[in-house]
């Protein structure tokens, strides 16, 4: 899936070919290439893109303070691109003043984030039919949303699932539609692309000390990994799919890790400096070995996705960024902050679509890894 080929572990000649050299170390976050990508994918002028990036970085700081102030009344938050501010939903007015002092707008709602998250976990235990694409907590709507593939809303198994979801959730459930069911973005072997395991090509995610993280559906623990030149990189040390979609690969055999995400000539390569999680509504970009560099918006968090082959993955983040086969495992990044590795989606980069990623911090915590940062 989305793949920023973090030049984790490229041999010297590969690093030179990939453009992941010293030029990546001195580029500002709002580089001309990034501004061009945001103009192409988000319709923003360079000035508007610079302003939005600044507002989004501030929103991350605001969210931390506002969530702490909200306490048990917290019902979620999102970034409003029009106002350039974070909105925090609350179930009680007691904390509203402190939340506003933290720099956020306030919206009063009925259900707390804790209640809706618990309701979603109950729905996660149900068996979903093929044409139920995903479900999530919609913070703005203050309810659960179940997305169904167009034309299948009246299917018997779909209506049964929706009835069971409403009864199980004990919270409001809204039905949405998507044009197609999601699938993972792995691909068969294609010469010259990032990494291979068996006959599958995927994309490197982010460098960690000792290796790199990627998508779990790309390979099982113990599987060998080959690089762009067909030489051995290392081995899958841990992998989880379905339920989760993450893995990590050890690096050796003359390969090494660097804190870089490839810009593929569209933008300068990106240095990775941390993994602060961005709010819903902010812009986000993706690098992939098939479709290179694309940007979009962060649409939802903690979404459960029912892929077209019947596998279900939990706690994914949904974006409007496109991706295609071979992009699996690659990087989602916001500015210089790592966000996650591509899992799957629907559509393509010609007609558009949506893509989900596995948040990177969960992968780091699960395997006790340390992100390689600049």
Distance CA 120, CA 41 (A): 31
Distance CA 76, CA 123 (A): 19
245 catalytic, yes or no? Answer: yes
Lookup: tokens for 362: 């969960």
DSSP state of 128: P
Distance CA 123, CA 127 (A): 9
Is the preceding omega at residue 146 within 30 degrees of 0, hence cis?
A: no
Partners of 343 in the beta sheet? none
Residues, the chain, total? Answer: 374
Helix, strand counts (H, E) of the chain: 7, 23
Q: One of 217, 250, 283, 320 is an active-site residue; which one?
A: 217
φ, ψ dihedrals at 359, nearest 5°: -55, 135
Q: One of 328, 331, 334, 343 is an active-site residue; which one?
A: 328
φ, ψ dihedrals at 4, nearest 5°: -80, 115
Q: Name the residue with tokens 């390689």.
A: 372
217 catalytic, yes or no? Answer: yes
Q: One of 193, 245, 269, 327 is an active-site residue; which one?
A: 245
Lookup: tokens for 226: 């080959």
Partners of 263 in the beta sheet? none
Catalytic positions = 217, 245, 328
């Amino acid at each position: 899936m989305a793949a920023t080929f973090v030049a984790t572990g490229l041999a010297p000649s590969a690093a030179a070919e990939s453009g992941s050299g010293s030029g990546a170390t001195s580029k500002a976050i709002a580089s001309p290439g990034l501004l061009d990508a945001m103009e192409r994918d988000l319709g923003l002028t360079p000035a508007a893109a610079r302003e939005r990036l600044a507002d989004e970085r501030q929103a991350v700081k605001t969210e931390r303070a506002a969530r702490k102030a909200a306490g048990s009344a917290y019902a979620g938050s999102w970034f409003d691109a029009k106002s350039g501010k974070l909105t925090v939903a609350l179930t009680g007015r007691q904390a509203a003043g402190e939340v506003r002092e933290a720099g956020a707008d306030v919206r009063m709602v009925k259900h707390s984030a804790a209640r809706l998250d618990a309701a979603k976990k109950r729905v996660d235990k149900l068996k979903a039919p093929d044409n139920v694409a995903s479900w999530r907590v919609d913070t703005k709507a203050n309810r659960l949303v179940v997305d169904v593939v167009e034309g299948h809303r009246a299917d018997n198994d779909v209506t049964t699932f929706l009835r069971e979801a409403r009864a199980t959730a004990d919270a409001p459930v809204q039905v949405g539609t998507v044009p197609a069911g999601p699938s993972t973005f792995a691909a068969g072997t294609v010469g010259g692309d990032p990494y291979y395991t068996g006959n599958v090509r995927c994309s490197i995610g982010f460098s960690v000390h000792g290796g790199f993280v990627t998508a779990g559906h790309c390979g099982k623990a113990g599987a060998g990994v080959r690089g762009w030149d067909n030489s051995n990189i290392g081995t899958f040390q841990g992998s989880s799919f379905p339920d989760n979609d993450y893995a990590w690969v050890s690096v050796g055999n003359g390969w090494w890790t660097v804190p870089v995400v490839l810009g593929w000539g569209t933008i300068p390569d990106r240095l990775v400096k941390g993994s602060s999680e961005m709010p819903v509504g902010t812009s986000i970009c993706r690098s992939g070995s098939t479709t290179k560099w694309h940007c979009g918006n962060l649409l939802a968090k903690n979404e459960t996705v029912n892929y077209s082959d019947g596998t279900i993955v939990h706690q994914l983040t949904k974006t409007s960024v496109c991706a295609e086969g071979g992009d699996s495992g690659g990087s989602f990044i916001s500015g210089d902050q790592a966000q996650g590795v591509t899992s799957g989606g629907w559509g393509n980069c010609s007609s558009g679509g949506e893509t989900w990623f596995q948040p990177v911090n969960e992968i780091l915590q699960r395997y006790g890894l340390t992100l390689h940062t600049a």
